[in-house]
Every structure is written in structure tokens, then in C-alpha cells.
Amino acid sequence: MNLHWIDWLILGTILLLLILFTVHSRQYVRSVADFIAANRVGRRFLLSIATGFGGAISLIAIWEMTYSRGFPPQWWTIMSMPVGLLLALTGFIFYRFRQTRCLTMAQFFEIRYSRRFRYFSAILCWISGALNYGIFPLITARFVIYFFGLPENAFCIGDFEVSSLSLVMLIYLGIALYIACAGGQVAIMITDFLQGFMMLGIFVVLMVFFLYKYGWNDLMTGLHFAPEGQSMINPFKTSDVADFDVWYFLIGIFNMIYNRGSWQGSSGYQAAAKTPHEMKIGNAISSWRMFVSNVCFLIIPLSAYAILHNSLLEPALSDKVNTAVANLPEYLQTQMAVPIFLAEVLPIGLTGLVAVIILACAISCDDTYLHSWGTILVQDVILPIRNKPITPSKHMLLLRLSIVGVALFGFTFSLFVNYLQESLGVNFLIYMYFAITGSIYLGGAGAVIIGGLYWKKGTSFGAWCAMIVGTIISFGGVVIEQCWNRGVSNFLLSIFPNWEFLQNNLETPPFNGQWVFMTAMAASCILYVVASLLGPRENYDMDKLLHRGKYHIESDTAHGDSETNEKSAKFSFSKLIGITDEFTKKDRILYWATFWWSMGWWIIFVIGTIICLIRDIPDKAWEIFWFIQIWMMVIIGVACTIWIAKGGIKDLLAMFKDLKDMPRDMTDDGIVK
């Protein structure tokens, strides 16, 4: 095994703390709203930390991408910063959804459109989400096995062998399941905060370790071993990287807007904010929280690439890791290169801290997903179809049983996929699988959500048309693309062997997944508008939906009814970026700092791109640019970590007090009466 007893002690202590905090949280769960949305008491710093860094599967995907692409993707993502900035600062989708006081997105669909549309959209959403989650336990367990250095079989009972894969999935899923069932969203927010709080500190330690251990010059030397046309340093020397053109990023920007708030993997957090304003500020704080983790996400895989491709730096380490990676099945080599490198390079103590990160990311993501998909199945499918009153105790029991069912599905489905890979040699790509499963719901969801929250003329007929067409185009196109890559072209060539046009054009599909998704999104938007205008027409009462004006609920606003005030206010740039009368002086400082930080980098991107299109910029200049950016993020990131951690502890204590003292509304259960 790769872990020393000190590493196991660190890991065991953290897992024990998670269980103890979960036990403590149970006393605060007294109603359905507590279980589903922590009774809407989440404050800004708590929300920004507890919403997590993504699961272990996301960590693997980020390391895998950075290990193979290097710095260039970081440059192109700056192009979308103004869009992401405005979405975060204005609270697009999330602010208005919180105003509806709905516990799930499908509840909003029933209020805004119809109960039948709630059934349809919820079933699509749940199937998409459950299938998407189905491989999380598998990928996470593999990560743990190769990093921890666990044997293929954990132990034997007679002639029956218990694989490490099954045992790891059982243990970590059991912890995530206990958190989600014992305290619902209350326990999830508390334990996710604890894990996020620890990870902020661990990321600082790892960042210092790697920047100290491997000098910048050694790192850059290793990155120069990349093939021609696949530069790891210069974003304008990546001509041989497939599907990496400007349209890829432009479509990604449109998707960022279109599907804002569509994916329901963290639906509990979308309804958990104390006020819409707190959610908006929490989104702004989140952008500052990610500095330290982003540096680690870059430096760790790039260090691995440099060492494994430049054998002169650490030849013994390079040979050992490259040999271990080469002995893996082909479908695991790129995914497990960085974990195996980490297991070999980290000293005692730091290995335990990285093990904490792996399991913390896995548990915090899985308990959120288990809670979300279990809740959606009950709230938006079972109870609306049942259409009979249910007591709060039976309601929460049903929610817990549903969560257990999602966990059992994930465990079983992961074993099934692992069997396919081992016995049939199926090459399994994470992002391909995510694209197929996500497209079941996301193709049409964005148009329905945006139209329902922001356009009073949107109708149920328009929603049906948009959702159906978006799903058919998106899901169908992705499936056709994958089938094409796996034999359709060869089948057609076998039928028409002498057709020169087919021979010249069938090596790749005539479209890629990004353009299919763009077509689905555009078609859904157009159909939603056209069908709403041509079908039965009515103006929906948006004030009633968003609890404005005479429908205003005082507890949902920090300093007054902001949207009412916005109607009478004159236009200003401050209003454009989301600053309203609710904002305190500190809120305004935070918003303006966030705005100018993001816009500053975007201006650098525009100027840099123009210069690079006119003349060639040497790699040495790019090395200096990345050096400056990394160290700016390090310095600011450490300061932000201290600031956010302090605010998060304060918000956590405030949440305990709110949940202890506040009265419960037992009719607040997500069922539309």
C-alpha cells in the first residue's frame, strides 16, 4: 500500500469528524423543508464553501485534461470570463428561482406550466441524472485503488473473492448515503462545509510543496517535450489538437448562458439560500474561493507531465511511474497517470492529505447527488402522480428510501460497467458518457427555464415543444455520432465500397457533439417562442410567481423588495451588473473587485490575441506570462482562503442558531396544492 499509518490516521480522523457532524445535524431536521433545502437558512460564505469543488470524478477529468493539454485551455477560457462574471453577479436564473420558493425545478414547472409537464420533465431529468451518476462510484473507486495502492482483491471468504473495487465503493458510498439520509440537506451543508474548509487549507499546502519541489525552469523544460502542433505552453501552437477551434469555445459560452441552473445535481443548494440576495453574493464569493484550488489543478498534472516526459529530472521516478501506467489497460492509462505519480512523489503526511481530498471530493459530491436525484424522484414523480396527502414523517421516510435506491443503482450500475470494460474491452470515455446522459434533459431544459422565469408570454404548449425537440435532437445526435465513430462508417463503406465520396468523407462524422448540442439549444429557443406566440396565449402573473409586489414575502429579502425597487430605478451600469438597493458597502466593494479582476484578465486576453494574430510570440514570453499569473493567484488565493474560511465558520454557527430557533411550516413540502 502507498499510505503510511500516519496517512491512515489523518484519513480516519477526518472521516470520524464527518460522521460526528452528521449525528449532530439530525436534531435540526424537523420538517420536509429542512430535509430538502435546510429550511432556506444558508448564508453567503457557507454556500460558497459548501457547494464543493466537484467530485473525485471531476478531479480526475480536470487532471486528465491538463495533463494532455497543458496551459492553452486556461488562455481560451478567459474568453468566457465576462459572460461568467455577469451570470454570477446578476444572479441569472438562481436569483429568480430562489424567489419562487420552489424546492425543486419541476415544482416550478408545475406552477409555471402544468402538472403533466412536471411529470414529463421530472422523469427526463431523473433518468438523465441517475444514468449520469451511475459511473461516479466506479471512477472514484478506481482513483482510490490506484492512489492508495490497494490489491485487486481485498480478501477472500472461502472460494469467494471480494474485490477492492466493490469494497471501496461500498465504504465510501455508505458514508455518503448515511450523511444524505440522516440529516438531508442540513447534514450535507454542514459536512460539505467541513470538507470544503479542510480542502482550502490542504490546497495551500500542496501548492507550496509542488512550487518548491519543482522549479519553474524544470517544469517548463518538461512541457517542451510536447509534440509539434500540441504545445503545452503556447495556445496559438495547438493546430493538431482536435475540435479546439474558436467555435468550440463560442458554443460553450452560449451553453453557459442557456443551461444556467438547468442541471439538478445540486438542487438542494439551489433552494437553500436564506434570501435570493445571499445566493447572489455567495456566487460572487465562489469566484475568489477557487484561486488556490485552480493553481493545484494546474501545477499537479503539469508537474506529472514534466517529470514523466523529461527523464533527466527524476529518472528513477519517471521510469517507475511510466512502467506502472504502461501496465494498465489502455482505457485507464491517461486517467490514472496523475494519481500514480502523486502516490510516488508525495511524502508521508501529504499523501494522507491528498487521500482526504480524494474522499472528501467523492463524499461531498455523492451525498449531494444522492440527495438530489432521490429527492427529485419523490417530489416530482411519485408524489404528484400519487396526488394524495402524506404526513411529514412518511414523506421523509419516502425521501430516504428513494436516496437509498439511487445509491444501490449507482453501485450496481458501476459494477456492470466495470464488467463490460474488463470482459469485453469496452473503451469508456468519461466526457462521452456525460454528453450522452446529460443530453437527455439539457437539450430543451434551458429554454423552458429561462422562458418561464423571464417571459410572461411563455406557455405550456411552448414548453412541451421546446423540451421534446431539444431532447430528440441533442440525445439523438450524440448517439449517432458515437455509433458513427464505432462502426457506422465501416458498415456504409462495406455496402458502397466503390463510392469515392463515401471513402473520402466517412472517416469522421459530418458533425460533432458540440454542433449537435448547439442545434438542439437553438431549435428549443425558437420553438419555445414560436409555439408560445402561435398557440393558446396568456400573460402569466410574474409578480405572483416571484413573490413581488402584493405577493412579497419579507423574509426573502435582506433590505426590501429589490425587484420592485429596480423597476423604478433609472438605468445605471451598477444595475446592469446586479448591484441593487439590497447591497451594503461591503457587498459593493466585493462586486466591483470581482468585476474589475475578471474584466482585467479579459482585456489582457483581447490584446494578447490580437498581437498573436499579427505576429508570432515566442514560448519564452508565454512562460513569463504563466509565471506571473500563477503567482498572482497564489498570493491572492492564500489571502482569500483565510477571509472565506473565517466567514464560513461564522455562517455555520448562524445556521445552527437559525435552525434551532425558527418555527417550522409543515405545509412547506414542495407539493403544489
Q: How far apart are CA 638 and CA 201, in angstroms?
A: 9
For 378, half-sphere exposure in the C-beta direction (CA atoms, 13 angstrom radius) is 25
- The CATH number assigned to the domain with range 5-256+276-424+592-661 reads 1.20.1730
Three-state helix/strand/coil letters over 111-172: HHCCHHHHHHHHHHHHHHHHHHHCCHHHHHHHHHHHHHCCCCEEEEECCEEEEHHHHHHHHH
Average pLDDT over the chain reads: 82
Mean pLDDT of the 125-137 span: 89
Q: Is the pLDDT of residue 131 over 60?
A: yes
Instruction: Give 72-88 pLDDT, tens digit per residue.
Output: 888 888 888 888 888 87
Separate counts of helices (H) and strands (E) for the chain? 30, 2
3-state secondary structure of 475: helix
Q: Is the separation of the CB atoms in 46 and 667 below 8 Å? A: no
pTM for the structure as a whole: 0.83
Q: How far apart are CA 638 and CA 628, in angstroms?
A: 16
Mean pLDDT of the 55-67 span: 78
For residue 335, count other CB atoms closer than 10 A to its CB.
23
Q: Is the separation of the CB atoms in 248 and 238 below 8 Å? A: no
Q: How confident is the model at residue 556 (pLDDT cuts 50, 70, 90)?
A: low
Cell of 271: 433552494
| Selected residue with higher pLDDT from 656 and 80 | 656
First to last CA, the chain: 57
3-state secondary structure of 273: strand
Q: Is the pLDDT of residue 638 over 50?
A: yes
Q: Is the pLDDT of residue 444 over 60?
A: yes
Long-range contacts formed by 593-600: CB under 8 A, 24+ apart = 594/85, 594/88, 594/89, 594/284, 594/287, 594/288, 595/85, 595/89, 598/81, 598/82, 598/84, 598/85, 598/287, 599/81, 599/82, 599/85
Mean pLDDT of the 520-535 span: 90
Would you state the pLDDT for residue 466? 92
Q: How confident is the model at residue 567 (pLDDT cuts 50, 70, 90)?
A: very low
5 exposure class (CB count in 10 Å sphere: 0-12, 13-18, 19+): exposed
- The string of DSSP letters for 277-305 reads HHHHHHHHHHHHHHHHHHHHHHHHHHHHH
484 to 213, 248, 440, 488, 586: CA distances (angstroms)? 46, 20, 19, 4, 54
Instruction: Give 445-473 pLDDT, tens digit per residue.
Output: 999 999 999 999 999 999 999 999 988 88
Q: Is the separation of the CB atoms in 107 and 373 below 8 Å? A: no
For residue 604, count other CB atoms closer than 10 A to its CB.
14
Instruction: Give 226-242 pLDDT, tens digit per residue.
Output: 888 788 888 888 766 65
Delimit the domains of the chain by residue range. Answer: 5-256+276-424+592-661, 425-455+457-539
157 exposure class (CB count in 10 Å sphere: 0-12, 13-18, 19+): exposed
Would you state the pLDDT for residue 324? 87
Mean pLDDT of the 547-555 span: 75
**Which residue from 470, 406, 410 is spatially nearest to 441, judged by alpha carbons?**
470
Instruction: Give 381-433 pLDDT, tens digit per residue.
Output: 888 888 788 888 899 999 999 999 999 999 999 998 887 777 655 555 566 67
Would you state the pLDDT for residue 485? 55
Mean pLDDT of the 564-569 span: 44
Residue 108 neighbours by CB under 8 Å, 6+ apart:
97, 100, 102, 449, 452
Q: How far apart are CA 663 and CA 20, in angstroms?
A: 25
Q: How confident is the model at residue 317 (pLDDT cuts 50, 70, 90)?
A: confident
Q: Is the pLDDT of residue 483 over 60?
A: yes
Cell of 118: 412536471
Would you state the pLDDT for residue 23? 92
Q: Is the separation of the CB atoms in 40 and 203 below 8 Å? A: no
Q: What percent of the chain has pLDDT over 70?
A: 86
Q: Is the separation of the CB atoms in 369 and 133 below 8 Å? A: yes
**Which residue from 146, 130, 121, 133 is spatially nearest to 63, judged by alpha carbons?**
146
In single-letter form, the type of residue at position 357 comes to: I
Query: Virtual CA dihedral for 320, 326, 331, 334, nearest 10 degrees?
Result: 50
